[in-house]
Homo-oligomer: A and B are copies of this chain.
Amino acid sequence: MIRRLCVIGVGLIGGSLARALRQAGYCRDIVGAGRDPQHLQQAVTLGVIDRYETDLARAVQDADMVVVSVPLGAMQAVFAAIRDHLAEDAVVTDAGSAKASVVADARAAFGKLPAGFVPGHPIAGTEQSGVAASFPDLYRDKRVILTPTDASAAEAVARVRAMWEATGAQVTEMSAEHHDEVLAATSHLPHLLAFALVESLARLQDQREMFEYAAGGFRDFTRIASSDPVMWRDICLANRTSLHVMIERFSADLQELDRAMCAGDGERLLQLFSDARRARDRYVGK
């Protein structure tokens, strides 16, 4: 049970968390914080938060749980702004899509990693953004990965875990580095490929014609290229180390397919395609 929840960044992610916890009766009081008073007032009107502050020092006052759900590029400044104003028993977590960079930001802002800091990442979202798109069931049966640091107190980890479980999410723990590798492979690389594919088509001479003939598979494949460019810029920069490794691996695998194709090696192609279909069907389903 949370006494006072402070959500810094009341968008799809932060707003849906607030709605879920309110619906579950898991917190008494919800303070929203951010830079845009109009946006925050909308969150109050929608019943997502009880009140708001644009001053972060005031926002975290007496909050026993602080959730930072801002773009990765803004994390360090937020940590610095709240550092000297946290309640004695405050636990701080975040919802960033990369974790090693958030840990580095926290170390830089706090001086050393606080015992009450537990990095986290809810693997949920839609192509929508903003508080108007938030809904209480966003996290139901979704995964939330926590990446406790060496400094994280067991009790702080338990409190963050309990909060996410109250939303219906499945919580797991791993290291920040492993998280970043897993997400580079399963989310960040696919997004980058979709962006690059659309970019490639847009650069062809017959751009309009190309998109006209693009069939259903293309639509599915590139849907994620319609995601928020700022968020993806931040994710790429924050997770560039793991993502670069995955791009190199993917490029090597694509080159292998290309070589087999150019050599007319139908057997090899068939084997590669059959392996891929089998792997996808086994793990992901239709």
Contacts and interface: CB of A to CB of B under 8 A. Distances in A.
Interface of A: 73, 123-125, 127, 143, 145, 182-183, 185-187, 189-204, 206-215, 217-227, 229-230, 232-234, 236-237, 240, 243-244, 246-247, 249-251, 253-255, 257-258, 261-262, 264, 266, 269-270, 272-277, 279-284, 286
Contacts of A246: 200
Contacts of A212: 143, 283
A213 B199 contact: no
A218 B264 contact: no
B243 A198 contact: no
A202 B250 CA distance: 11
A196 B257 contact: yes
B220 A224 contact: yes
Interface centre among A197, A220, A246, A249 (most CB of B within 10 A): A197
Contact of A202 (B208, B209, B275): B275
Nearest to A198: B276
22 contacts: A182-B206, A185-B210, A186-B210, A192-B254, A193-B193, A193-B254, A194-B276, A196-B250, A197-B250, A198-B280, A199-B257, A200-B249, A203-B249, A211-B279, A217-B224, A220-B224, A221-B224, A225-B276, A225-B280, A236-B269, A237-B269, A240-B261
B261 A199 contact: no
Contacts of A249: 200, 203
